[in-house]
C-alpha cells in the first residue's frame, strides 16, 4: 500500500517552477542540473516547514509533551532522497522532472553529505529524529552548525590527512535561518553575589558574548503528520570593536569575531593541547546554553509561564557533551526566573535524562575545575553547589562511605566529571544495548546503582530502517513486498514473516541474486570513482566504523597478513576469493589509529602487486567514508565484521544496518551483537572470542600478550611482519602496542578469530546455506528499527505516548 503523496503532482510542479523562476531567475527549459537540485531542495524544505508548523499548532493545542534531543553531532547524510521518500513524493518528483529530461539520480549527486557528525553517535541521533517524526512525536534536535564538519579524509601515501569539509555550499539550501530567534551565550567575566532584602542577587560582569544563530533542518516522518526539526546553531560575534578599528587596530577590531566564530567551525577539535580543550568546552557550553534558552523560550511563548514546564518537556542528553545543559537550566531558573534552589532542582531532575554511550573510563569526559571557572564562572558555582548537596545526601540519607562518595562526586580531585553530574541529576540513565546496560550498573556506575537502581534502564539502539532497506536496497525491498506484503513499511516487526521462506528454493535464489546485483552496483561505483577493480563473485568482507583500537581493525589486519603469508608459503593452496573492505576516520590526534589506516592501505598495495594473491585476496580502504557511501556498501556486504573486545562496544548501529541487508555477523558477544544473536539465532552468525566476564578475569589475572605471541607461531609470524619490512613499510609503534601492551587483547582473541574466519569460508561456499542465513538475518532485524527504540524511550523514559 503506497501512502498518498504529501502534495499533488500539479502543486509540486507549480512550486518547482516558481522556485526556478523566482529564486534562480531561470526558465525550466534553460535550468542546469544544479539549479534543478536547489529548486527542488528549497521546495521540499518549504513543504516540510509548512507541515511542521501545522503539526506544532496541533500539538500545542493538545498540550503534547515536547521531546528535545541534545547531541554534539548528527549525521543525517543527504536530505533529498530521504525527504522525497518519507513524503511519498519520489515517484511524483520523477514524473515532474521527466518533463525536462531530468532524472532524480542526477539531483542526488549534487548534494553533499551534511558535515554534522562523525560516526555512530551522530548517525543514531539522526535516525531518532526520523523515528520520532514517524512515530508522531513532537521533537527537536539540537546541535551546532559546523562550517567544516569534522574533516574531509584524504589518504596520501597511505596516511590519513585532514582537510576542511566544505559541505555548506550545496547543503545550505536545506537550512532555514532563524536570525530573529538568536540567543546570547556568555563566557568568562566575573560573578558577584550578595543578599539584599532577603533575596540572593547575582551579577555577572566583564563577560564575552557570542550570538547563537539558529538554522533549522527538517526531517519528515514516514506516513506521518509529524516533522522533526534539527536546530543547528552558528556562532557569531555580536559586532566589531569600533574603538580599536578607529585607532587603526584592524586585526584587534575583528579578533573577537574570529575567536567567537571558531566555536562553530569544526566538530571535535583536537584537544591534546590547552587551546583545543578550551575550544571544546566553549562548544559544549555554547550548544547547551543556546538549546536551553530556546527550549524555555518556546515553552513560554506557547504557555505563558513555566508552571507546567517539567510536565510538558523531556530533554535527552546524548552522551556527556551536552551535560552542561543541566547547570545552565539551573542558572536560568535561579537567576532569570527567581526560583528557589529546591524548586529549580526539582524541575531539572524531572526534565533531564541521560544516555550513556561508553563503558571506557577514559571516554567519560572530565574538565579541569580551574578551566571551567575561567570560562564559565557562574556555571562552576552551580555545579559545586550541586556537588556539595549531592555528596551530603549520599552521606546523610544513604550512609555511603567516604570512598564511595569520592567515586560518585560530580566534582573531585580538581575535576568536573560530566558523567557523574549527569547520573547524579537526571531521572533516567540508559545504556544502548542489553549487555552495555548491564555493564554500566556493574562496572561503570555500580555505586550509583546501589543508591538509585530505579534510574537505570536499557534502550537498545535503532536505525532508520527504511533508509537502509527501502531506499538503499530496492531489490531486497521488492522481494519482501512480493513475499510478505507491504505492512513492514509501517511496522518492521513484520519482517519476521520472511523467515517462513527459509527453505523455499526460489526465494533463496532471489536472495542470492539480489545480493549479487548489489555487489555489482557497488563494484561499478568503486571502479568509476577510484579505479579500484573488485569482483562481485568474491566474498565482500566489510568493516566500516570509526577507527579505534577497541574496535580492533588491527585484529582484522593481522588475520589478513596471516592469510597472505599462508598463500605465499603455498601458492597452490585453495583459497576462497575475498575482498576486505574498510572505511574509517581516525581522530586527528590519535597516532596509533592513523598507523592502522596506514597498515591497511599498505596491505592493499602489497596484495595488489603480488601475482600469487591476484584474484584471491584484496584489501580496499574507502577514503572519506560517509552515509551516502554506506548506503551503497551495506546492501552488498556478505560478512559484517563486528570484532570489538567484549565489554567495550556499547551497542553499534552499523551491525544492525548490515544485518538488515542480509550480511552475516562475524563478531564477539559485545554490544548489540548479543541481541543480534538472540534475534537471528547464534547458528546464523559467526561468534568467536572471550565473553565480557572472561575479559575481566584475564585482565585481573595479569594478561601477558608476550606469552600469547610466543605460543602461536602463526600470530608471531604475522605480527613480526609489522617490523620486518616484509610489507614494504614498518609499523614499530603499532607492533610495540600489540606485542607489549595489547590493551584491547587482539592477540588473545587472534586464534579464535582466525578459526571463525575459516568457518566463514564454509558458510560462503554452501550457497543455499548462506542464502538461508542471510534471509534469517533480514527477517530478524525488525527489532532494531528506530521506530521501536523511540517508542521505548517514550514509554520508559519520557513518560508520553502518541
- Check 653, 665, 668, 778 and give the catalytic one: 653
Q: Give the β-pairing of 227-236 and 138-144.
A: parallel
Q: How many CB atoms lie within 10 A of CB 798?
A: 21
Return the residue matching grid coordinates 614494504: 728
Distances (CA, A) of 62 to 59, 219, 298, 438: 5, 22, 16, 38
Spell 516-535 as b/e; 16+ CB within 10 A means b. ebbbeebbeebeeeeebebe
Q: How far is CA 422 from CA 124, 254, 326, 330, 445, in A?
A: 20, 37, 8, 13, 11
- How is residue 644 annotated by DSSP? P
Could you confirm whether 665 is annotated as catalytic?
Answer: no
C-alpha cell at 645: 573486545
Helix axes 786-793, 120-134, angle to 10 degrees: 80
Q: List, edge to edge, every strand of the sheet that includes 366-368.
A: 366-368, 415-417, 411-412
Sort 577 into a burial class: Cβ within 10 Å, 0-12 / 13-18 / 19+: middle
Residue from 38, 68, 147, 657 carrying the catalytic annotation: 657
Q: Pull the grid cell for residue 322.
A: 551536552
773 catalytically annotated: no
Q: Point out the catalytic residue in the list 231, 455, 510, 551.
A: 551
C-alpha span between 760 and 536 (Å, rounded)? 17
- Selection from 757, 249, 770 nearest residue 543 by Cα: 757
The residue behind cell 523566482 is 22
All 3 cell numbers of residue 485? 506484503
Catalytic site includes residue 417: no
Question: Is 349 labeled as catalytic in the residue annotation?
Answer: no
Which residue in 13, 215, 546, 548 is the catalytic one?
546
Let me know: does 200 contact 193? Beta carbons within 8 Å.
yes
- The three cell numbers of residue 234 are 552558528
68 as an active site residue: the answer is no
Distance CA 665, CA 686 (A): 6
The Cα 451–Cα 444 span in angstroms is 14
Angle at 261 between CA 259 and CA 267, to 5 degrees: 105
Tell me the three cell numbers of residue 312: 510538558
Q: Which of 52, 545, 578, 754 is catalytic?
A: 545
Beta strands 578-583 and 539-544: pairing type? parallel
Q: Determine whether 204 is an active site residue.
A: no
Say which residue the cell 540572593 belongs to. 200
User: Would you name the residues annotated as active-site residues?
Assistant: 357, 545-546, 551, 653, 657
Amino acid at each position: 500500500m503506497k501512502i498518498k503523496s504529501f502534495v499533488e503532482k500539479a502543486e509540486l510542479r507549480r512550486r518547482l517552477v516558481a522556485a526556478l523562476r523566482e529564486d534562480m531567475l531561470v526558465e525550466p527549459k534553460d535550468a542546469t542540473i544544479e539549479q534543478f537540485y536547489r529548486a527542488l531542495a528549497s521546495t521540499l524544505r518549504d513543504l516540510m516547514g509548512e507541515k511542521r508548523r501545522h503539526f506544532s499548532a496541533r500539538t500545542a493545542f493538545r498540550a503534547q509533551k515536547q521531546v528535545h534531543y541534545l547531541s554534539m553531532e548528527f549525521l543525517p547524510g543527504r536530505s533529498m532522497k530521504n525527504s522525497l521518500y518519507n513524503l511519498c513524493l519520489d515517484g511524483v518528483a520523477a514524473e515532474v522532472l521527466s518533463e525536462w529530461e531530468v532524472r532524480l539520480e542526477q539531483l542526488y549527486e549534487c548534494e553533499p553529505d551534511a558535515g554534522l557528525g562523525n560516526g555512530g553517535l551522530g548517525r543514531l541521533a539522526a535516525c531518532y529524529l526520523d523515528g520520532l517524526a514517524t512515530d508522531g512525536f513532537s521533537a527537536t534536535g539540537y546541535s551546532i552548525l559546523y562550517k567544516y564538519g569534522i574533516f574531509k579524509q584524504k589518504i596520501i601515501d597511505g596516511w590519513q590527512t585532514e582537510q576542511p569539509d566544505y559541505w555548506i555550499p550545496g547543503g545550505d539550501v536545506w537550512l532555514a535561518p532563524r536570525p530573529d530567534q538568536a540567543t546570547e551565550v556568555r563566557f568568562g567575566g566575573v560573578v558577584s553575589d550578595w543578599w539584599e532584602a532577603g533575596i540572593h542577587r547575582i551579577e555577572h560582569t566583564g563577560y564575552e558574548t557570542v550570538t547563537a544563530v539558529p538554522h533549522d533542518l527538517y526531517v519528515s516522518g514516514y506516513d506521518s503528520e509529524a516533522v522533526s526539526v534539527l536546530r543547528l546553531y552558528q556562532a557569531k560575534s555580536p559586532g566589531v570593536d569600533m574603538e580599536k578599528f578607529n585607532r587603526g587596530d584592524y586585526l584587534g577590531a575583528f579578533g573577537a569575531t574570529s575567536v567567537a566564530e571558531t566555536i562553530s567551525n569544526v566538530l571535535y577539535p583536537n584537544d591534546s593541547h590547552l587551546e583545543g580543550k578550551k575550544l571544546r568546552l566553549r562548544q559544549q557550553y555554547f550548544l547547551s546554553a543556546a538549546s536551553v534558552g530556546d527550549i524555555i523560550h518556546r515553552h513560554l511563548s506557547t504557555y505563558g509561564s513555566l508552571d507546567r514546564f517539567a510536565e510538558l518537556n523531556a530533554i535527552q542528553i546524548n552522551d556527556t557533551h551536552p551535560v552542561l545543559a543541566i547547570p545552565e537550566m539551573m542558572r536560568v531558573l535561579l537567576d532569570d526566573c527567581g526560583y528557589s534552589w529546591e524548586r529549580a532542582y526539582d524541575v531539572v531532575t524531572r526534565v533531564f535524562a541521560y544516555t550513556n554511550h561508553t563503558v571506557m573510563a577514559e571516554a567519560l569526559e572530565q574538565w579541569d575545575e580551574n578551566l571551567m571557572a575561567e570560562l564559565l564562572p557562574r556555571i562552576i558555582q552551580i555545579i559545586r553547589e550541586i556537588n556539595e548537596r549531592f555528596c551530603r545526601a549520599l552521606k546523610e540519607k544513604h550512609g555511603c562511605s567516604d570512598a564511595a562518595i569520592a567515586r560518585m562526586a560530580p566534582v573531585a580531585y580538581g575535576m568536573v566529571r560530566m558523567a557523574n553530574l549527569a547520573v547524579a541529576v537526571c531521572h533516567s540513565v540508559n545504556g544502548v544495548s542489553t549487555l552495555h546496560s548491564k555493564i554500566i550498573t556493574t562496572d561503570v556506575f555500580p555505586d550509583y546503582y546501589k543508591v538509585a537502581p530505579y534510574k537505570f534502564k536499557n534502550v537498545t539502539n535503532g536505525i532508520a530502517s527504511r533508509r537502509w532497506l527501502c531506499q538503499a536496497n530496492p531489490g531486497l525491498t521488492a522481494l519482501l513486498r512480493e513475499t510478505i506484503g507491504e505492512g513492514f513499511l509501517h511496522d518492521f516487526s513484520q519482517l519476521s514473516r520472511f523467515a517462513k521462506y527459509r527453505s523455499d528454493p526460489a526465494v533463496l535464489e532471489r536472495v542470492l541474486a539480489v545480493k549479487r546485483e548489489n555487489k555489482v552496483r557497488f563494484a561499478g561505483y568503486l571502479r568509476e570513482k577510484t579505479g579500484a577493480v573488485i569482483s562481485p563473485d568474491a566474498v565482500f568482507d566489510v568493516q566500516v566504523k570509526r577507527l579505534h583500537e577497541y574496535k580492533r581493525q588491527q585484529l582484522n589486519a593481522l588475520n589478513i597478513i596471516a592469510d597472505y603469508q599462508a598463500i605465499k608459503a603455498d601458492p597452490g593452496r585453495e583459497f576462497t576469493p575475498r575482498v576486505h573492505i574498510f572505511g574509517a576516520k581516525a581522530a586527528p590526534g590519535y597516532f596509533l589509529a592513523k598507523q592502522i589506516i596506514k597498515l591497511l592501505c599498505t596491505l592493499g598495495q602489497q596484495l595488489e602487486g603480488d601475482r600469487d594473491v591476484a584474484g584471491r585476496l584484496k584489501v580496499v580502504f574507502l577514503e572519506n567514508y560517509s552515509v551516502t557511501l554506506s548506503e551503497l556498501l551495506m546492501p552488498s556486504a556478505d560478512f559484517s565484521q563486528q570484532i570489538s573486545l567484549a565489554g567495550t562496544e556499547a551497542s553499534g548501529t552499523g551491525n544492525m544496518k548490515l544485518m538488515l541487508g542480509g550480511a552475516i555477523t562475524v563478531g564477539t558477544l559485545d554490544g548489540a551483537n548479543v541481541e543480534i544473536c538472540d534475534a537471528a539465532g547464534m547458528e546464523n552468525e559467526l561468534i568467536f572470542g572471550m565473553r565480557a566476564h572472561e575479559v575481566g578475569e584475564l585482565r585481573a589475572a595479569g594478561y601477558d600478550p608476550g606469552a600469547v605471541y610466543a605460543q602461536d607461531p602463526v600470530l608471531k609470524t604475522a605480527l613480526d611482519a609489522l617490523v620486518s619490512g616484509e610489507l614494504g613499510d614498518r609499523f614499530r609503534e603499532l607492533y610495540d602496542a600489540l606485542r607489549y601492551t595489547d590493551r584491547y587483547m587482539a592477540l588473545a582473541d587472534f586464534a579464535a578469530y582466525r578459526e571463525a574466519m575459516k568457518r566463514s569460508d564454509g558458510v560462503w561456499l554452501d550457497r543455499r546455506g548462506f542464502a538461508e542465513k542471510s534471509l534469517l538475518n533480514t527477517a530478524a532485524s525488525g527489532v532494531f528499527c528506530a521506530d521501536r527504540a523511540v517508542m521505548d524511550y517514550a514509554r520508559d523514559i519520557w513518560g508520553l505516548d502518541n
